[in-house]
Each structure stands twice: as structure tokens, then as C-alpha cells.
Structure 1
């Protein structure tokens, strides 16, 4: 064994502890990247160095022999990724080791236990992370709007304050000071005190900001009346996930959330290619704004019956010019709709329009960029070319454009149902099974209904002090037996209560998965919510949840064995 490998082996000595595994993997992966050495002592695995397609490197941890000797013989090696195979050996050990690392796959052989860490969110940069974060921010805004709209207060003691990005904190602070003087003249003592308290609260919160954040600032503060008739002071301030170009200050008996609703409206940019026999137009549509990027005209020869012996030559020339026209359009489409910095499309979808077969020929052509072909949402027939055809294409595609998120949701759930129909074993549903798969790092895409009404309880046994985690819906919360130990009837004290959706939004990155919120508005979404409980996941590799349940009784029985 080389000195570099012995050094990496020391990093793995702590790897039998799930809590230390994350730090171990970070340092081990760094050592693998630095070292050019390859190899493994013992076992029958062949190693050939890291594949070039892994941008940040990867790392395999190999333990020879049984659990009690792993911490002595652990070695980190440079290795090719290993095909995912469902383990039949020590599954609870593998679960505990994978819990904090979100491993993609693990393989067992007769003498080796191998855990491969690939595509983990903790260590590799995922391309769709930004999109997932944006979807979570949208979900949080929806949840906040729902709570704010239902809140009511006495009098005009609820302040809604929105500051656009280029506003000045000093200006708003001065305005609040003037409002404080005006509110001092309110005749009703109770209302006057509530309004003054709300203005003071807003002033104190603004002192935390030296300047307005890049996307603006939203502040709601005041005294609301709870369901049981008690008054409660509330202050909410946050920076929106995208710029909010609204300036607002209102005192009312409710919070005004109209500007937040506008934030949720899609501002995705869609590309249009309007192509006919006279020329092509490239344009974009974002929200209510359309823009013509470029247009050019062509003079293509028409079909005719003349030519005599030259008829075939004329036909070839005509087809050649058509071919060159399609090629030029395809090249310009790549120029306008592919971002050169990221090499990815800069539009959410493409609409191809035209009055002849050119649009179909373009969509099926090998010259049309494959990255753009997957973005085609619709191919429409229009009566005109140019800008008139552009306007008509927008009208004909209105339904498609409004349902882009709808279509993405249908595709996602359709893929989930396809895994089930083919019985691949790469799916999971239900709260308990989904959480088990998450703990193992097996979930690639976590799918959750955006209105899932389940809370996560952290309970403490009053006698033994044991911590118990339960996931309960409204009906189960009303049953007090869920808050007592079934064996001793001892009370279980509530240490923490949080919405399961909110817990997923905060913790999903730790499990190395992407989080997708779906609605029940589509047929597939409704079926997912009613038939599968509104929670499930697409797995990275095949798992037999029933066999894992049978083995879970063994728990960590072997962890203390010598």
C-alpha cells in the first residue's frame, strides 16, 4: 500500500460514524483529486482512476471484512463508478453510513462492502439546484400569502409596507415618523395604541437594514386576532426571490398581498420562430412583453413546369436553396436561443410557426440544435409571416404558454407512474417508506403535493427521555393515543412541531435529492394525491422496501459487536 493510500486510509477511520462521514468524505475526495496514484489493497475490485465526466471528482470508500474491522482496514481509493446493485447484506449498516452523505449507490460482494458517493448534492454542484430553490421560494410565498390573507385585526392596526429595490431606507423611516405623529391624533385609545405599536415595530425592524436589499423589501406588522379571540403581535419581513417593483404603505384591518401574488405570475421567456417561404422572424415573449430579435427575407425559386431537359437540375437547385434556408435558420436559432456562457437554452420553451412545411422540416432536421429540439412546446400553422404571424402564433399558443408549468408537472408524474407500471422498483410512496428511502440517500426526485397537510412531531418520552418522531395528519392529531406510549401509557411531550412540507423545504439538500411540488389540478396530479397520499419519490436505484422493513428489526444490533 502506498503512503498516499495509508494517509487516505486514516481519513476513513472515522467513517463508521455517520456524524463524521460528511467531513471524512470531503477530505478523502480532496486527497483523491490531489493524488495521481491508483490501486487498492485486497479484494477483487479493479480500479482505473476517476472518469473525466465528474467535474469535482468522486470518491469510493471501501471496507474489507466485517463491521468490527472496518475502522482498521478502511481505505479511500480512486475508482470508476460502480453499477448500482441493491444490497442484501447489512442494510441497516449501509443506511446508517449513507444517512448523512446521500450516497447514490452501494454494492456488496463476498469480501467487500463498497459505498459509492456520486452525484451527491452535498459535494457535487447540481445544474438544476437554482430551479429547485426558486420553486421552494414560490411555495413559501404561496404559504405566506395564504396565512396573511386569513389574518384580521381590530381597527387599522395592520401595516403593509413594500419597498422596491432602488428605494431609500431613510425616506421610509422619515415617512413612518410622520405617520407616527398623525396616528397620535386617533381618538379611539385602543386603536391608537395598536397603530402606534405597529409603526414602532416597523421602525425597529427597518433599523436592521442599512440599505434596501437587491430584490426589495416586504414588511408586514401589526396586531391580529387569533381564532380563539386573543390578540397577537406579528412582524414578518423578507427579501422576495425576485425584484418587486411596487411601492406600498397601507394601514388597514388586513394585510395587502396583491403585490406578492404578482410575484408568483410566471415571467419565463419563450422563443418564437416564424418561418415561411418569404423569410423568418425570431422573437421572444416574457410576461406581457414581446420582442423581435431578428428577421430576414429569402427569395426561393418556385415550382414550375418548364425546363425541359434541365427540369431535374432546376429541382436540385430549388432543394439546395431550401436546404440552405433551413440551415441558416437553425444556425440563427442556436445564436439567439442558446446562452454561450452556459451552453444551455435561454428560453423556457420554443414555438415554431409558419404557413408551409418549413417549420416541420426545421423541427425534424439534424441541423436544428438538439438542446432546442427538447424545448419545442408547439408547432402551429399561421396565415401570415413576419410580425403579423408572430402575433397570431402568440394567440394560438396562449393555452400552451399558460400551462407550461402544468405540462412539466404532467411529465414528472407521468415518469413516476411509468416506473410503477413497469415495476422497476425505482419508486416509493407513502410518508414512512419515502422517509426511509430519503435516509438511505436513494431518492433522486422527491415529489410532494403542495397542500400536503401532515405535521412532523418531535416527541420526548416523559419517563425514559427517548426522542420519538411521528408524522400525523389532522385526524391523527385529534387522537390523543398518538401522544402516549402504547406499552407504558406514558405521556409523550411535544418538543417540536413543524409542517412536513416546511421540513422537506429546509432539509431536502441534506438527502441529495431534488424537491418538486405538484398540484392536484391535472389528472395525473389528482391521481397522485388521491392514490399515493400526495408524497412519493423516484429512486436512483432499485429498492425492495418490504425486505428492508423485515430487516429493520435487527436495527443496529451488530454495531456494538466485537
Structure 2
């Protein structure tokens, strides 16, 4: 299991996307919004000392209102840092600012956001502006590394690439070259020559199109050449690939299928070489999940109620969630006696849900004082429980066959267990 549970970077990227949706709409006046990027090598004490110096520098700001807002934002950062013993392994990103309501002066409210990034921060950065510095976050959200695949035989070829959870079939081609003939003598030699000339022309055409496709990909990590026979070696020997792509050829892969099916088979064959690729990870995890389900081993479960119960007992090894889940975990609280109930609902139903419970009698004190006291995205809610239990979290995209099946067949919530449950 270790090869598929190495990291929870996709869960962190999911949380990062959620934070970006909030942060991109935040703005303030002058330089009252502060962005702080802290690498893991930086000591908390050193960061606090730096911020104290910035408070001193901020006293020179001419505008009294802006000066107060900047100092308040820095002070909030210092207060939070004092509660942190050490910087996490990937560093820390902090945003602090005085955010006005409806862009009106005098209505500013202090807001603070703390993010553990999915990738290491390399440089310390302190930035003041009327908006938060979000470019580093956008870069982290993007999937890194593209791998090209050329599947080729004498009669047909396919060109594609895989990045993150996405497999793209960019082009399929046919050569029109005949592979068999019944002629003999000189006619046989002539036909063989024509077949070979047709194959060479086809290799050239495939090479030209491959050059057009792959040279446009900035983060191309490598290319795999696949096929059933010797055509793949002949294609490369022909030298039709641009020299920059020749240097990126990683391996030849023997496959049974050609065309689009050949590309998909190639991905399966090379998965051990691409352990960290999201597309490969999802296939491995889902195949393991389906294997346990088909064996009726009781080591795989699905459905929110079942998974949540197993998660809270610490029985879940890998929590599998679909990024297509659009659910909120809502807590309603009786303001009279503190009685609480928790529900999972669609976000668009929040208003109707709230109105319904405003006139609902509390089963404990019989008052009609229910209010929504908490609302959290269900992935984040389950993810927090997983972090407490030391459970790995895998977020499936909705672009793959496995991701589509996860949400359509299993409701988008599933799990692989550490041990069998007795309930």
C-alpha cells in the first residue's frame, strides 16, 4: 500500500483552491493587506523579529488610517506566530488584512488566513498591497509535469499526453499502407518496396505532428514510444522527431493495442515509472478498492454514513473523495439550550434549510430558536477528521473513468480500511 499512500498533496491542493476562491475577492485600501511567505528553514523567532521591524517602519506611513490598518495586520500575524512552535515541512503562507465592507472606509474588519502549501516555499517574502499576493498559490494549484505518448504501427498511430489526472488523445492517424500481399517475383519485391516507402512517409507525418504537439508543451517531462512490433524503433531511428524531443524519449513500451486503445494500454504499462502522477495514483487506488468490493472482503466501504463512522473510529487507511462532491456539513444550534444537530445538504439548499429550522421546535427545550452555527465543505470536514486519525486523503478528479465511477456509483465517498469493522 505504501506506493499509493505516500502523500496527501491532492487534498492540500483542493484546500488551496477553496482558499483561492475566497482570497481572490479580498481587497482593501492602500497597503493594508499583508502576504507572508515563510520557507521551512526560517525560524519562527526570526520571522517575528522581522515583523516587529516592519511595525517600526510602518510608523512612517503618512495616512493615519492606513498606518493603523497596516500595524493591526502585522500585529495579528505576530500574535498567530507566537502560537506556532515551528514552521511546517513545506513552509507557511499567511495573509492578514483589514477588509472593508462594501469598500467603505471605516468599516474595516481584521481577517487572517493561514495555509500549509502542498509544495515547499523556497524564499521568504513579505508583501504589502491593496490585494493579497496569490500568484504563488495559483502556481501550486497547477498540476506539474506532462508525459507524451506516441503509439505507432505501420497502419495507424496515436499521439497523446497525460498530466495530473487528465489523459488527452491529441491525434489519431492512419497510413493506408497494406501489410499483406499475395504477389510473387518482381511484383512481390515492388510491393514490399512500396509498403516500406509508405511506412517511411507515415513515420515522417507522425513525427511532424508529434513535433507540433509536444514542442508547445512547456512542462514536458518525457516521451514514451509504444507499439506491438518494431515500428516504434524504426520510427525513432528515422530521426523525424525534433532533436529536443529525441532527448526526452524515456523508453520503448510493448503493447498489444494500437491507436487510442494503445495509448491507454501504454499508460497502464508505464504506471510504475510514473508513481506520483495523479492519473496513475487514481487508477491504482480505485482498482484496489474495486478488488476489495468484488471479494466482499469488508476492507472497502462507501457512503457518507458508513465512511464517517469508520473514519471516526480510526479504521480508515485511505479516504477516497471526489472533487465533484458539492455538499456542506451544516450544524444547527438551539440558542436557548445549546442542543445541536448536524446535517449534510446541498449548498444551494442552505436558505430553505435555515428557514425550515427557524420554526422547528427544539426536542430538548421545545423553543424555536435554531440557528445555523457552522457550515463547512464536506471534503474539508471529512479531511479534518482524517488528519486527526492519521488517515491518508485522496481526492479524485471527475475527468477520469475511475473518478466518474466513484461519484456516479459510490456517491463520491469511499474508503479502504486498516482492519475489518465489527459494526
Instruction: Identify whether the pair has TM-score above 0.5, normalized to the shorter chain.
Output: yes
TM-score after normalising by structure 1:
0.44
The structure-2 alpha-carbon separation of the partners of 1:508 and 1:228, relative to structure 1 and needing over 3 Å to count, comes to farther
CA distance in 2, matches of 1:497, 1:490: 20
Which residue of the other structure, out of 61, 66, 69, is the alignment partner of 1:194? 69
Q: What secondary structure, in the 3-state scheme, does the structure 2 residue paired with 1:131 have? A: coil
Report the counterpart of residue 326 of structure 2 in structure 1. 453
Report the counterpart of residue 246 of structure 1 in structure 2. 123
Report the counterpart of residue 20 of structure 2 in structure 1. 145
Would the aligned equivalents of 1:354 and 1:389 in 2 still touch at CA under 8 Å?
A: no
1:439-494 Cα offsets, whole Å, 9 max, x none, are: 68776643212353333234456788654332222233212325635986844455
The structure-2 alpha-carbon separation of the partners of 1:522 and 1:128, relative to structure 1 and needing over 3 Å to count, comes to closer
Would the aligned equivalents of 1:455 and 1:497 in 2 still touch at CA under 8 Å?
A: yes
Which residue of the other structure, out of 223, 228, 232, is the alignment partner of 2:109? 232
* Cα shift at 1:251: 1.0
Report the counterpart of residue 393 of structure 1 in structure 2. 249
Would the aligned equivalents of 2:226 and 2:252 in 1 still touch at CA under 8 Å?
A: no
Q: What secondary structure, in the 3-state scheme, does the structure 1 residue paired with 2:386 have? A: helix
For the aligned residues, what is the CA RMSD? 5.3
CA distance in 2, matches of 1:177, 1:127: 44
Matches within 5 A, 1:197-346: 197-205=72-80, 215-225=90-100, 231-237=108-114, 240=117, 242-264=119-141
* Cα shift at 1:194: 1.2
Matches within 5 A, 1:493-508: 494=372, 496-508=374-386
The structure-2 alpha-carbon separation of the partners of 1:236 and 1:350, relative to structure 1 and needing over 3 Å to count, comes to same
How many residue pairs end up in the alignment? 323
The structure-2 alpha-carbon separation of the partners of 1:537 and 1:243, relative to structure 1 and needing over 3 Å to count, comes to closer
1:156-207 Cα offsets, whole Å, 9 max, x none, are: 2101122334457677666545544554444433223212322333445555
Would the aligned equivalents of 1:244 and 1:263 in 2 still touch at CA under 8 Å?
A: no
Unmatched segments (≥5 aa) in structure 2: 148-163, 165-220, 254-262, 268-273
1:303-333 Cα offsets, whole Å, 9 max, x none, are: xxxxxxxxxxxxxxxxxxxxxxxxxxxxxxx
CA distance in 1, matches of 2:84, 2:313: 42
Would the aligned equivalents of 1:453 and 1:474 in 2 still touch at CA under 8 Å?
A: yes
Report the counterpart of residue 151 of structure 2 in structure 1. none
CA distance in 2, matches of 1:501, 1:245: 29
1:496-544 Cα offsets, whole Å, 9 max, x none, are: 543322221121367786432112233543454456543344678999x
Report the counterpart of residue 535 of structure 1 in structure 2. 413
Q: What secondary structure, in the 3-state scheme, does the structure 1 residue paired with 2:247 have? A: helix
CA distance in 2, matches of 1:511, 1:217: 22
Q: What secondary structure, in the 3-state scheme, does the structure 2 residue paired with 1:150 have? A: coil
Q: What secondary structure, in the 3-state scheme, does the structure 2 residue paired with 1:452 have? A: coil
The structure-2 alpha-carbon separation of the partners of 1:466 and 1:220, relative to structure 1 and needing over 3 Å to count, comes to closer
The structure-2 alpha-carbon separation of the partners of 1:519 and 1:482, relative to structure 1 and needing over 3 Å to count, comes to farther
CA distance in 2, matches of 1:182, 1:490: 53
CA distance in 2, matches of 1:512, 1:197: 36
Report the counterpart of residue 31 of structure 2 in structure 1. 156
1:259-292 Cα offsets, whole Å, 9 max, x none, are: 233344567899xxxxxxxxxxxxxxxx9xxxxx
Question: Which entry has the higher C-alpha Rg, 1 or 2?
Answer: 1
Unmatched segments (≥5 aa) in structure 1: 1-125, 271-286, 288-348, 361-378, 549-562
Which residue of the other structure, out of 521, 531, 556, is the alignment partner of 2:399? 521
Would the aligned equivalents of 1:164 and 1:243 in 2 still touch at CA under 8 Å?
A: yes
Would the aligned equivalents of 2:222 and 2:249 in 1 still touch at CA under 8 Å?
A: no
* Cα shift at 1:252: 1.1
Would the aligned equivalents of 1:476 and 1:482 in 2 still touch at CA under 8 Å?
A: no
